[in-house]
Structure 1
Amino acid sequence: MSSDTGIIIVGAGECGARAALSLRENGYRQAITLIGDEVHLPYERPPLSKQVLLDEATPQASAVLSDIMLGERAIRHIIGASASDIDIVGKQLVLSDGRALPYDKLLLTTGAAPRRLSNAPTSGRIFYLRTFDDALALRSRLRADMHVAVLGGGFIGLEVAASARSRGAKVTVIESQERILKRGVPEPIAETMTALHRRNGVVVKCGVTVLGLEADEQRVAIFLSEGDMISADVLVVGIGAQPRIELAAQAGIAVDNGIAVNERLETSVTDIYAAGDRCSFPHPLYGGRRLRLEAWRNAQDQGILAAANLTGAARSYQAVPYFWSDQYDHTLQIAGLADEGQMVVRRDLGDGAFILFHLDGERRLVAASGVGPGNKIARDIKLSEMLIAKRVIPPIEALAASVNLKSLLPNAAQEIAVLSIHEQTT
């Protein structure tokens, strides 16, 4: 391998940054180039809908890599640049400014982009939230005497709603589905979160669609299918995300709800890998079902695994899917995939907190979803994640009762030690 080529990572978010760090930790000594289309250091996105909007002091991006870390590890970081083409035969990445960078191996981690409203007017009062700059722009508009409309009752929309309400704004959430959190969140938890938002003064409208929008320098008018018109100071759109597949598709790389990769995160083209929000992959815990996960944990884990495989490890991705959301004083967490049709066993933990255990047709634990104040559910969700990974078929009565989930783990003593280490580092 020549020293002037090495590995290029396209996408300088959580996934790409973790991959770059892990390459050096794995002993990789050739060139590493990390390319990002933003002008910031790699940073974490979860705070954008929470701390960045809420902090009293001027917020700073929560950096994954600092300039010092980049320098110490000899990671070349190209900012404000995007890739326009991949020359697969010549093994070169072409940037939008015309530069052609040779590579030995290529990792694509550019994530997903917010789904845009069709036929929406151009307005400085309509916001999408994906980048740190997006969050700063929205933060600059938030004030206690305003009305914030949020289109979309998913994680991002609800976190923005909670943050805006905590800042004293009037908030209306508009969701076209019959309930919020329709994708991957069980109905009892969605009902709990709806009640939580309403207790905090948020108006939640479900089962209504937007027929049209009008905007001027002062307001946004939102015309709904139920006949109402909402007049808001700003509109925040959170209606999902689309994987950024254009570069891969143009190069002839296979796509399937994202860039299609195998269990080792390899694309259909030799020496090109993909990881994070933009790729779909088969998951062994769910019968090889192809998944695409938009989650911080997945981005981190796949970045680390991609780095190992780029250096010859040939490992399969088997991490249990994990999602979380903080809203007001409550935390929602899901380990695994909670699908309709699964058998559900409920465990109540007090103070309104509860966990739903999801079992497949063979009574194997395949997901655990919970909600509650503070860290009430955190330990049981972590233990559930371990049980899911071990493909445990637990006694149903043990799940419903107050039986300690640690006792259901194979090799319980070893697993408890792992859990203790996890708790000390979180």
Structure 2
Amino acid sequence: MSVVVVGASAAGFATAEGLRRNGYDGALTLVGAEPELPYDRPPLSKQVLTGQWDADRIRLCGQDKADDLGLDLRLGTPAAALDVAARRLSLADGTELPYEQLVLATGVGPRPLPGTEGLRGVRMLRSLEDALALRAELRPGTRLVVIGAGFLGTEIAAAARTLEAEVWLVEPEPVPLGVAVGAEVGEFVAGLHRERGVHLRTGPGAAVRDFKANAGEVEAVVLEDGTELPCDLVVVAIGSVPSTGWLAGSGLTLGDGIECDSRCSAAPGVYAAGDVASWFHEHAGVRVRLEHRTNATEQGLYVARALLGQAGEPFTPVPYFWSDQYETKLTAFGLLRGADEIRVVEGAIADGAFVALYRKGNRLTGVLGVRRAKSVRQWRALLAAGSGWDEAFADSPK
């Protein structure tokens, strides 16, 4: 059997490593669009951006380990096309790779903001190169506007304030992270940023209307309410887009990512893992696509077992994620978006130490905590069991 893995980040590398760990000794090719060896992305908006960590600190493997794993590395060469029927992958340099089993772990790319094309001083953060370039431009007094107050935008704002930049954080939703974690927790996050001196603008009037530039260099962001924010730099962090454009005409079903069954199979001989995979989560009863670091590794390892006929049950993880906002860490399990109710069951949001549960219908769907990591972990078992809301309280951790 020959296996080709497209995507040399967390999910792709986990698949490759998992194959070797589980006894596969055949041909194994790892294709990556970036020239870098596999590395970890979450620190890009945190420790790498602040300068605490260098590039070597986030490597998932060095060349020696790649050699030990017997990887045929094709780095700096994006995939360009796929013929599922012929089981043939085409790379951007014209190389064609036949395969018996293919794993697609191409991740996501940053969502562009119309009007920024060709405008100097506007950045997006996805790669190590992006993070290092932005780090070199951030210094005390740099006027930075961060557009988008989701996880990435808020973490960039926090890192920039740590570097003593002057930061504006703009978001058309009522509060930062509101869509992801709910309004009350989002307001708590807003407070963390205000306390650190971030200028926060939210609501419809904070949508970006236009940019002002001088000789092609951005010099101000114009909001919908007419406010002008003078700036030296802009970072666009308005979400992501699954990296599937190159798969048009491949025969795969593409929607919000690569659509897979409950065992991460997208077609005969083709699997998907990580941020790009949209699969049916049998416990949740819905199709899921997760942009979480732990899911990338777990799903990559699951796909490795599936390729070897060792997977057994469908892939039904309890999602886990975290976010660092200055010295405050948010930790969560489950699916939090679209909750019908959010109930604080321990501590108080106003005190900055709490546990909140998330309900959809009559099911417990998620738990989030701040400075209550042990308590949050204790709720995980009830999420894994698919506990009902009332049963969750009857069986709640004591």
Q: Same fold (TM over 0.5)?
A: yes
| C-alpha separation in 2, matches of 1:237 and 1:181 | 15
Matches within 5 A, 1:131-280: 131-207=127-203, 208-216=206-214, 219-267=218-266, 269-280=267-278
Q: Could you list the per-position Cα deviations for residues 169-212 of structure 1 after superposition, in whole angstroms to 9, with x for gaps in the alignment? A: 11000101122113221211101000010000001100121111
What is the rounded CA distance, in whole Å, between the counterparts of 1:56 and 1:275 in structure 2?
A: 30
* Deviation for aligned residue 1:28: 0.6
CA distance in 1, matches of 2:359, 2:54: 45
Cα distance in structure 1, aligned partners of 2:340 and 2:51: 40
- Counterpart of 1:43 in structure 2 is 39
SS in 2 for 1:183: helix
Opposite residue 303 of structure 1, the aligned amino acid is: G
Q: SS where residue 387 of structure 1 aligns?
A: helix
* Structure 1 residues 273 and 354: CA distance shift in structure 2, 3 A: same
Partner Cα separation in structure 1 for residue 87 and residue 356 of structure 2: 49
How far the C-alpha of 1:394 sits from its partner, in A, is 6.8
From 384, 388, 401, give the equivalent of 2:379.
Answer: 384
Letter of the 1:328 counterpart:
Y
Deviations, residues 215-256 of structure 1 (Å, cap 9, x unaligned): 347653111111111111100000000001123332121112
In structure 2, the partner of 1:326 is 324
Alpha-carbon displacement from aligned partner over 1:299-352 (angstroms, at most 9, x marks no partner): 111111111111123441100122210011101122111244534331233752
Query: Alpha carbons of 1:56 and 1:11: their partners in 2 closer, same or farther (altered >3 Å)?
Result: closer
Kept in 1: contact 2:121–2:232 (CA 8 A): yes
Choose the corresponding residue for 2:279, options 270, 275, 281: 281
Change in CA separation of 1:209 and 1:361 when aligned onto 2, cut-off 3 Å: closer
Partner of 1:338: 336
**Cα deviations by residue, 1:393-412 (Å, 9 ceiling, x for unpaired):** 4768958xxx982x5xxxxx
105, 112, 123: which one pairs with 2:119? 123
Q: In structure 1, how many angstroms separate the alpha carbons of the residues matched to 2:83 and 2:354?
A: 52
More strand by share: 2
- What secondary structure does 2:64 align onto? helix
2:94 is matched with 98
CA distance in 2, matches of 1:276, 1:96: 22
By how many angstroms is 1:16 displaced? 0.1
Give yes or no for contact 2:89–2:97 (8 Å, CA) kept in 1.
yes
Alignment: residue pair count? 392
Identity within the alignment, %: 35
The residue aligned with 1:355 is 355
Q: Is the 8 A contact 2:330 2:369 kept in 1?
A: yes
The letter for the 1-side match of 2:336 is A
Q: Measure the CA separation in 2 of the matches of 1:343 and 1:89.
A: 46
DSSP 3-state at the match of 1:250: coil
Q: Per-residue displacement from partner, 1:264-320 (whole Å, max 9, x unpaired)? A: 1100x2101111111211112222x11111111111111111111111234411001
Tell which deviates more after alignment, 175-184 or 73-82. 175-184
RMSD: 2.0
Counterpart CA distance in 2 for 1:37 and 1:59 is 17
Q: Contact (CA 8 Å) 1:164, 1:171: kept in 2 or not?
A: yes
1:378 is matched by which residue type in structure 2? A
Q: Deviations over 1:110-162 (max 9, x none)?
A: 10010001121423411100000000010010001111110000000000000
Distance in 1 (alpha carbons) for counterparts of 2:49 and 2:320: 24
3-state secondary structure, aligned to 2:333: strand
Q: Larger relative CO (CA 8 A, sep 6+): 1 or 2? A: 2
Question: TM-score of the superposition, structure 1-length normalised?
Answer: 0.87
Q: Say whether 1:312 aligns with 2:300.
A: no
Q: Aligned pair in 2 of structure 1 residues 57, 249: CA closer, same or farther (>3 Å)?
A: closer
**Aligned-partner Cα distance in 2 for 1:160–1:339:** 22
Could you list the runs of 5+ residues in structure 1 that have no partner in the other structure?
408-426
For 1:188 and 1:325, the matched residues in 2 are separated by 16
CA distance in 2, matches of 1:57, 1:72: 26
CA contact (8 A) 1:84 1:247 kept: yes
- Verify the 8 A CA contact 2:47 2:53 in the aligned structure 1: no
Q: Distance in 2 between matches of 1:192 and 1:204?
A: 13
